[in-house]
Structure 1
Amino acid sequence: MGIAQPHGGKLVNRSTNKNYDNLFSVQVTADLASDIENISDGIFSPLEGFLLREDFEKVITKGRLANDLPWTIPIVLDVDKETATKMKDAKDVALSVNGTNFAVLHVEEIYAFDKNATAKGVYGTTDEKHPGVAKTMSMKEFLVGGKIDYIERQAETPIRRYRKTPRETRELFEKAGWKTIVGFQTRNVPHVAHEMLQKASLNTHDGLFVNPLIGKKKSGDYKDEVIVAAYETLIKYYYPQNRCYLATLHTEMRYAGPKEAIHHAIMRKNFGCTNIIIGRDHAGVGTYYDPFASQRIFDDYPDIGIGPIFYPAFFYCKKCLSFASERNCPHGQEFKEQLSGTKLRTMILQKQSPSEYMMRPEVSKILVNWDNPFVD
């Protein structure tokens, strides 16, 4: 076994030094700008731009592209009728963020779409209390498909210092001599239970690729800067430096549960991972998904090209005097130190350090000393 082949067999590169002057310009959000950069760098391979209608409809209904390659999250640009008309006439359109043109979209197709069908196909619900559904319902009425050319990188900021392209991570894995690489997706600071999952994987694989998601999240999630600082500290004090690599993934959380688990796996495959840890209620929100739906969906994708790793939930057993799971610990609930996200959040807001069985003290110190580590 070696480093995983890119999804679709080829790592996309849409960066260019061409000069596109005097084009009609369309403003996009910072999160969409990050995803355009992800297209350019091959993180979204095999996509070379925004989905055309046939691909979009197959993704919504089948969780695959028109060529039957697994793909579950639509990467699209939505525009209103007036903008759609101008783009149709222009063909080549500049994409702008914060007043700066950074990419060009070669318009191939403009089409209407069904928001309810889109929400149901991606999120499994049309309930607008779901953050992904709410975003879908707020989209403009037309989608624009076509390849992109990426011209100007986003300005370097402290939060981007760990951003890597698939070409960079693959080179690093090759240099380290890793043949089997386990990816770990997270939007949280590390609990000891997360650490146990990661280290269990290191027992049987060459390297661990910790890849926190940096981007728009819902209220109550941890802030990006807090997640990065917490993982920097955990890796410094508790991981062998030649077995673990930290890099950030700049995209937004969709909270699409099982469909997003497949999307997360594809991106880590493009980074070079051979495996990915898929946890309980991966990419879930509220009670919209069965806790193990994100694991079962991999049965529908035997051709995905990256191996999912499923673990039971870990806890600390005061009788065993070790971290354990339901599979290997026979003791009752009175002996189990369980991790409660709600309890942990309350303690942090009250500036109380969590138990060392819940979180490493060095990580706890970061959270307790942060003014407010949560997204408002």
Structure 2
Amino acid sequence: MPRVPISKATAHEVISLAYGFFTPLTGFMGRHEVDGTLDKMRLPDGTLWSIPIVLDMPTDAIEKLNITVGGSIVLEYLGAPMAVLDVTEIYEYDLTRMAEKTYGTIDPRHPGVKKAFAYKDRFIGGDITLINEPTFSDPFKSFWLTPRQHMDMLSQKHWKNLVAHQTRNVPHTGHEALMKQAWFAANEDMPVSDLSTGVLVNAIIGQKRVGDYIDEAILLAQNVLRTSGYFRDNVHQVSFTLWDMRYAGPREAIFHAILRTNLGCTHHMFGRDHAGVGDFYKPYDAQNLLSQHRSELSIKPVFLRENWYCPKCLEVTNSTLCGHDSQAQSFSGSLIRSILTDEVKPTQKVMRHEVFGVVMECAARYGKGSPFVTEEYLKTRRPVFTLNQLGD
């Protein structure tokens, strides 16, 4: 079979397809599936779906390898065979249409648009079969759970409700308060004495940009909230999904809802500007689109406003509850970054000292002295996962 090298982003999607993170998808989309996704947010059978999952390839490579409909190809990552794709379709697609429908813009400043315009001139559709399971490195292997393992965890912990918190950040007290607010929303009318509601912190691990938090710090800092007692053991779990953010705003929010449904979640937190970037979407566009499709989602959105610290109330709160707008102290990204960059232990009102300590430890151990992604980190970091070199 022809062997086709794939990128890290495609390898992430192969893993997610193979293990069922992207159910009902079982492979890369064909033209009809892409059309339905872009025009109606529907798969051919009417199922809600919002983001194209496609495999691109240049025409000359397709011809050189004699890839044809009805045949199969081996997808290789870093020289190791990873999966077999049974080719059902080879097609061209209008990249401008794909970008505009997915992101609502063709502005090249949008990272998703940039990704769309970088696609090669052909796409290959077909189901995939994983032939080489990934082996995760430390600390990732402690947080890797397949959808089936998420379901098993749900059963073992006797959780009837599970609320998902998506994150690409280390947690400050504003994030912590949001998770606790969401827990109460997900617990609904269940007796508080019956601790059968959990919070799943499902981090996104994927393409990193200089200035992002390093992945190791995200996972370990989120986890220390539980190990330090800020969440009980039986109400908190950290895991991750391999996914390269598209920053598609409202459409990506729908995608995240479907993804977390596949992990057994019954509820999903959605805050201000979920999955947005820059000023391409309004702050609550994602929540508005989710509201339109609430009846057909198999997960309940929990809509939250941005939290702040109020020195008058002496607590973390938000504009829905607190009337001291003029005294509000926001959890600005620049404030948190300056604290971590300067290695100045923050007040407990901003970040738990245990979280700060773990972030600093990760900076030293994994980040070449920084909790933020640098060029050096990108060049020298250990891979999140490796594959075995299988024989022919």
What TM-score results when the alignment is normalised by the length of structure 1?
0.90
| Residue in 2 that maps onto 1:11 | none
Q: Equivalents in 2 of 1:216, 1:83: separation in Å?
A: 25
> CA–CA distance in 2 between the matches of 1:185 and 1:156?
21
Match of residue 321, structure 1, among 294, 314, 337 = 314
**Are 1:148 and 2:148 counterparts?**
no
Cα offsets for 1:31-85 (capped at 9, x unmatched): 2112111111111000010001100111122222122211111111000002233
Task: State whether residues 70 and 86 of structure 2, in contact with CA within 8 Å, keep that contact through their aligned partners in structure 1.
Answer: no
Aligned-residue Cα RMSD (Å) equals: 1.5
Give the CA deviation at 1:375: 2.2
2:31 — aligned with what?
A: 53
In the other structure, the counterpart of 2:68 is 88
Which runs of 5 or more structure 2 residues have no equivalent in the other structure? Answer: 188-196, 364-368, 375-392
Give the aligned partner of residue 383 of structure 2. Answer: none
Q: Which amino acid is 2:98 matched to?
A: T
Could you tell me how far 1:203 is from its partner in structure 2? 2.6
| 2:159 partner letter | W
Aligned to 2:145, which of 158, 164, 179?
Answer: 164
Post-superposition CA distance 1:138-160 (Å, at most 9, x none): 11011100011111112221123
Distance 2:134 2:9 in 1: 12
**Which of the numbers 55, 67, 78 marks the counterpart of 1:98?**
78
1:78 aligns with 2:56: yes
Aligned partners of 1:124, 1:319: CA distance in 2, in Å? 41
Counterpart CA distance in 1 for 2:325 and 2:240 is 39
Aligned partners of 1:349 and 1:368 also within 8 Å: no
SS state at 1:110 partner: strand
User: 1:253 Cα deviation (Å)?
Assistant: 1.3
- Structure 1: gaps of 5 or more residues: 1-22
Query: Conserved in 1, the CA contact under 8 Å of 2:168 and 2:203?
Result: yes
Deviation at 1:89, TM superposition (A): 6.5
The answer to whether the aligner puts 1:235 opposite 2:233 as a matched pair is no
Aligned to 1:292: 284
CA–CA separation in structure 1 for the residues paired with 2:93 and 2:358: 45
| Alignment partner of 1:373 is 2:356 | no
Which is worse superposed, 352-361 or 143-152? 352-361
SS state at 2:164 partner: strand
Give the Cα separation in 1 of the matches to 2:31 and 2:69.
19
**Separation (CA, whole Å) in 2 of partners of 1:229 and 1:88:** 45
Is the Cα–Cα contact under 8 Å of residues 160 and 248 in structure 1 kept in the other structure? no
DSSP 3-state at the match of 2:233: coil
Identity among equivalent pairs (%) = 36
Inter-partner Cα distance in structure 2 for 1:180 and 1:275: 7
CA deviation map 1:233-265 (0-9, x unaligned): 122111100111111111111111111111111
Aligned to 1:179: 160
| 2:184 counterpart residue number | 203
CA deviations on 1:97-122 (whole Å, 9 max, x unpaired) are 00001100000001101111111111
